[in-house]
Amino acid sequence: MGKTVIAGPCSVESREQLREATEVLGQMPEVTMIRAGVWKPRTRPGGFEGLGEPALRWMQELSAEFGVSYCCEVARPEHVALCQQYGISAVWLGARTTGNPFMVEEICQALRGSDMQVMVKNPTSPDVSLWLGAIERLQATGIERISAVHRGFAMYNNRGYRNAPLWEVVLELRRKVPEVPVLCDPSHIGGRRELVAPLAMAARQLDYDGLMVEMHPHPEAALTDAAQQLSPADLRTLLDSYLAPPAAADAASDPRLTPLRQQIDDVDHELLTLLSRRMELSRNIAAVKRDRGMTVYQSKRWNDVVADRLQLAQTLGLDAGFTRDLLEKIHAESVRVQLDM
Ligand code: PEP
Ligand code: MN
């Protein structure tokens, strides 16, 4: 299926900036729609907060002149009414709005009876129910064209991203609502220009339905999100790789896949068998600790275990972050088993 590509500046900054961006994007037939923020939710006060209604007027004029469509974020019911007034027929709920069911409900009431297309960014926290809840509220309002946008999650440790991708959260959403298309917003995940293309390519590998990506005619001078907006030339290069022809339809029947998949199945079975043995050992250890009045958690022992396993992981060529996460999961389960909860 063809990919949706939404691209454009983080914010509308002036009539000239929007016109320049539109001229560039109008030359890219792959771009389905132009994004441009009109009301900007700022984490801290004092930044550029968007131009509001005049920006919508420019969008209306430029859309007639260039034959393009625009979309923008709505964060309050009044924003929906203004978009309708200026002929904007696609909007999105920002990450901070999706996390606020009261506001989602109010926006739904404003959307009721319209045929607007609505995109729902993931909430800032990795809470699938909250994301799903906003989608369900829109569905219950009778909105027919709904899609989800993955913009990453605010975590204490984002591992170098502006917002941690946590791809697995999106996979869970897709399992729950397979009918809802999912776009990737690599700009807000990466937070830095150089991360945008690799993230977009990862989304392609995960078979997302498209992208929402920030592009500014002069990114270094942008009033918001200057570090992550692509230049027109960078966007062109990205689209060329992102939209390169997909694998042939018969790729899944390549005879090399079957034996490799068989081996993966075998390894997974072995891993689970080993984990079960490890938990059995934890139960035995718990009995000894109980007997001797020792606490379940022994910090020195655990630090030694982590250090030893990280060293082994390095020798084996395993990623340290992955190994640490895996050890933490195993340890949490071992503690649960020892507490017999
Ligand atoms: C944006 O798209 O510019 C934006 C502010 O997004 P988010 O809600 O994902 O932070
Ligand atoms: Mn932005």
The share of the chain scoring above pLDDT 90, in percent, equals 92
Which of 10, 120, 150, 199 maximizes ligand 1 atoms within 8 Å of its Cβ, making it the mutation to test the pocket?
Answer: 10
Helix (H, G, I), strand (E, B) or coil at 72: strand
Q: What's residue 47's pLDDT?
A: 87
Using pLDDT thresholds of 50, 70 and 90, give the confidence band for residue 45: confident
DSSP conformation letters of 67-84 = ---EEEEE-SHHHHHHHH
Phi, psi of 5 (to 5 degrees): -125, 115
> Environment class of residue 108 by beta-carbon count within 10 Å: exposed (0-12), middle (13-18) or buried (19+)?
buried
**10 touches ligand 1 (CB under 6 Å):** yes
Give Cα separations from 86 to 64, 90, 110 (angstroms). 11, 11, 15
Nearest to 161 by CA among 121, 113, 111, 199: 199
CA pair distance 206, 203, nearest whole angstrom: 5
Closest CA to 108 of 74, 82, 148, 69: 74
**Other Cβ atoms closer than 10 A to 189:** 26
Residues 6+ apart with CB under 8 A from 52: 38, 39, 82
Residue 259 has pLDDT above 80, yes or no: yes
Cα(first)–Cα(last) distance of the chain, in Å? 47
Strands 145-150 and 33-35: unpaired
Residue 92 CA to ligand 1 centre (angstroms):
9
Distance CA 320, CA 23 (A): 45
Q: What's the pTM value of the predicted model, to 2 decimals?
A: 0.85
pLDDT in tens, 151-190: 999 998 888 999 999 999 999 999 999 999 999 999 999 9
Residue 214 Cα to ligand 1 middle (Å): 10
Over residues 3-36, the pLDDT tens digits come to 999 999 999 999 999 999 999 999 999 999 999 9
298-322 average pLDDT score: 96
Query: For residue 110, what pLDDT band results from cuts at 50, 70 and 90?
Result: very high
Instruction: With H, G, I as helix, E, B as strand and everything else as coil, classify residue 2.
Output: coil
For the Cβ of 188 lying below 6 angstroms from any atom of ligand 1, the answer is yes
Task: For residue 60, give both structure tokens.
Answer: 């209306």
Identify the residue with better confidence: 327 or 40.
327
Nearest by Cα to 338 from 273, 301, 290: 290
The mean predicted confidence, pLDDT, of the chain is 96
> Under 8 Å CB-to-CB from 35, ≥6 apart: which residues?
6, 7, 8, 9, 70, 71, 72, 212, 214
- Rounded to a whole number of angstroms, the CA Rg of the chain reads 24
Average pLDDT of 112-122?
97
Share of the chain above pLDDT 70, in %: 100
Two structure tokens written together for 1 = 């299926």
Alpha-carbon span 240 to 338, nearest angstrom: 54
At 1 the pLDDT is 66
Q: Whose CA is nearest to atom 9 of ligand 1?
A: 95
Residue whose CB lies within 8 A of the most ligand 1 atoms, among 44, 70, 73, for a mutation test: 73
Pairing of β 117-121 and β 90-93? parallel
Is the shortest distance between the CB of 119 and ligand 1 below 6 Å?
A: no
Q: Residues 137-152: pLDDT tens digits?
A: 999 999 999 999 999 9
Report d(CA 322, CA 301) in Å as an integer: 21
What is the C-alpha separation between 199 and 206, in angstroms, rounded?
A: 11
